Amino acid sequence: MKEKTLSVSAIKEGIVIDHIRAGQALKIVRLMRFAAEEKRVTIGLNLKSQSTGLKDIIKVENYFLTESQAAQIAIFSPLATVNVIENYKVAKKFQVQLPETIAAVLGCPNLRCITNAEKVPTLFIVEENNSHIILRCKYCEKLFTRDEMREKV
Amino acid sequence: MASVIVELKLAMKNTLAGRDLVSITDLSKQEIELILSTAESLQKKIRPDLLKGSILANCFFEPSTRTRFSFETAMLRLGGSVISFSEASTISSKKGESLYDSIKVIGNYADILVIRHPQEGSARLAAEATDKPVINAGDGANQHPSQTLLDLFTIRQTQGKIDNLNIALVGDLKFGRTVHSLSLALAHYPVRLYFISPEILALPESISQELKKKGVRFSFHSSIEEIVPKIDILYMTRIQKERFSEVQAEGFVNPCLLKKKHLEKAKSNLKVLHPLPRVDEIETSIDDTQYAYYFQQAANGVPVRMALLSLLLGKI
């Protein structure tokens, strides 16, 4: 069996979000508020991936995600997989699925949108157009690509 | 007896009672048809007591003449009452009150609210703030659905139908909210659309994608003259001054000015529409021709808004 060197050290309990589109890991950490919850988070950027060339990876110790929570990740990285780790082993593995909507965590890039003027939770409807992910603001109805999105401050 | 049957038919179909009208995409084709036929019957015969006892709050956070007056006229013609403000400086938002709070309070006074606000998405937020029906009368560059409904009403009135018409939309197709909403509403019907604009003010990709999805046939053109002989409706819009200067700066000749000579080869049923105000997009000499219909179009704002108020209030 071929020896594999792990770029990021293994964890005992928690989750490993793998195959994240390169460059998206920090966005996901902010979006999921991993840092704010004082969890121990390890991030790998631009790691080699057999399938996608370069990838990012996030490990969060003593933390678990439901599939619906994980769906938020799909906006920035639709091919990401979530590995649930128990006692250093992968107990469960699933691919993230696009959610129908994203509530509250993203800000509307349209500065003329009312959500940037009033204290109101945002809501984006997720649509797929020719395999591109498009987000439509419930309020101003404008369409945005995921690269235009920013986390709500 | 016949009119009683018509009214019963309308009442049975009213799925709009208690609803908001924020975006034209909130309406199904059947609901659009219901509004148009209700407007037609109220235009033929006004019912002066239909909305007696109901109060409309006209909430205009930015100026408007046609829209505000026509909603007010519609309510008064049907026996209802109107409370209103016409600029934000006269109400508590000047003191820092949120739009959400303002609308929540006004919703406790009135039975139905009409809102115009400079920020996009404001009408959707207003609709969430109150249980009373909210009609969007323009939220920034986003939506103005009652304008679209009166445009559809006028098209049907002048041609006797909407199906199978050739319709040209001219002007600022990039930023013009009336063009976006009207195109999406027309996508419910089998129509052929022609879009004419300076290149830098062309229709946004998102709208043309939506039209393609719905199977609408459309094409882009750079002059009015070339398509005039083919069309039944010529829908003109204004290019705002600041956009126009961009066009001029790049050395373009504005292809969106309609001159009388352009209409020489027009079909006899052609009608020219415009949401107004007009600046110089339509030569005034066209006003007296059989083709001009923009002033009647503006007058149609009243029956269409009468229909909307009656249907959303569940009174018809």
Left, alpha or beta for A19 (phi > 0: left; psi -120 to 50: alpha)? left
With beta carbons under 8 A apart, name residues in chain B contacting A108: 121
The Cα B128–Cα B104 span in angstroms is 9
H or E segment and range at residue A137: strand A132-137
Q: Which residue has the higher pLDDT, B29 or A103?
A: B29
| ipTM here | 0.86
Active-site residue, B73 included = no
Closest approach of A141 to chain B, Cα-based (Å): 7
d(CA B210, CA A9): 48
Q: Rounded to two decimals, what is the model's pTM? A: 0.86
Range in B193-197, B198-202, B260-264, B299-303 the model is least confident about: B198-202
Distances (CA, A) of B222 to A70, B212, B243: 48, 20, 17
pLDDT tens per residue, range A19-30: 999 999 998 998
Task: Give the model's pLDDT for residue B205.
Answer: 86
Tokens of B82: 């109107």
Contact B100 A141 (CB under 8 A): no
CA–CA gap between residue B84 and residue B76 (Å, rounded): 13
Residue A122 has which token pair?
């945002």
How confident is the model over A61-94, as pLDDT tens digits? 999 988 778 888 888 888 899 999 999 999 999 9
Q: Give the C-alpha separation, B240 to B171, whole Å.
A: 9
Model confidence at B123, pLDDT cuts 50, 70, 90, reads very high
Residue B200 Cα distances to A112, A114, B110, B247, B279, angstroms: 21, 27, 44, 7, 20
Domain spans of chain A? Answer: 14-95, 101-151
Q: What is the percent of chain A where pLDDT is above 70?
A: 93
pLDDT band at B94 (very low <50, low <70, confident <90, very high): low
Secondary structure (3-state) at B64: coil
Q: Is the dihedral of CA B268, B277, B21, B57 positive or negative?
A: negative
Helix axes B66-77, B145-159, angle to 10 degrees: 70
CATH number of B2-141+301-312: 3.40.50.1370
B156 catalytic per annotation: no
Please tell me which residue in B68, B77, B117, B144 is annotated as part of the active site.
B144
Convert the pLDDT of each residue in B103-116 to its tens digit. Answer: 999 999 999 999 99
Q: Which of residues 293-312 of B touch A (CB under 8 A)?
A: none
Chain A, nearest residue to B209 by Cα: A129
Length of chain A: 153
- With left for phi above 0 and alpha for psi between -120 and 50, is residue A98 left, alpha or beta? beta
State how far Cα A152 lies from the chain centre. 15
Q: Is the pLDDT assigned to residue B244 strictly greater than 60?
A: no
Fold of A101-151: SH3 type barrels. (2.30.30)
Which of A125-134, B140-149, B154-163, B174-183 is predicted with the least confidence, judged by mean pLDDT? A125-134
What's the CA gap between B118 and B114, in Å, rounded?
A: 14
Q: Could you name the CATH architecture of B146-299?
A: 3-Layer(aba) Sandwich (3.40)
Neighbours of A64 (CB within 10 A): 15
Residue B292 to residue B266: CA distance in whole angstroms:
12
The reply to whether A110 touches chain B by the CB within 8 Å rule is: yes
Give the mean pLDDT of B22-35. 96
Q: From the candidates B44, B45, B95, B213, which is the catalytic residue?
A: B95
Q: Has B66 been annotated as catalytic?
A: yes
Topology annotation, domain A14-95? Alpha-Beta Plaits (3.30.70)
Residue with tokens 């808004």: B305
The residue of B22, B23, B119 whose CB has the most chain A CBs within 10 angstroms, and thus the best one to mutate to test that interface, is: B119
Provide the pLDDT for residue A1.
47
Q: What is the DSSP letter of B240?
A: P
Least CB–CB distance from A110: residue in B25, B120, B125 = B120
Q: How far apart are the first and last CA of chain B?
A: 16
Token reading at B201: 């003010």
Q: Which long-range contacts (CB under 8 A, 24 or more apart) does A85-92 make?
A: A85/A10, A85/A11, A85/A12, A85/A13, A85/A14, A85/A15, A85/A16, A86/A13, A87/A12, A87/A13, A88/A10, A88/A11, A88/A12
Confidence of residue B218 (pLDDT cuts 50, 70, 90): very high
Residues of chain B with CATH 3.40.50.1370: 2-141+301-312, 146-299
The pLDDT of residue A37: 73
Q: pLDDT grade, residue B69 (50/70/90)?
A: very high
**Percent of chain B whose predicted confidence (pLDDT) is above 70:** 90
Q: What is the pLDDT of residues B159-197, one digit of tens each?
A: 999 999 999 999 999 988 899 999 999 999 999 999 999
Of A9-13, B21-25, B138-142, least confident by mean pLDDT is: A9-13
Instruction: Return the DSSP state at B146.
Output: H
Q: Is B143 helix (H, G, I), strand (E, B) or coil?
A: coil
pLDDT band of residue B279 (cuts 50, 70, 90) is confident
Q: Is pLDDT at B134 greater than 70 in this prediction? A: yes
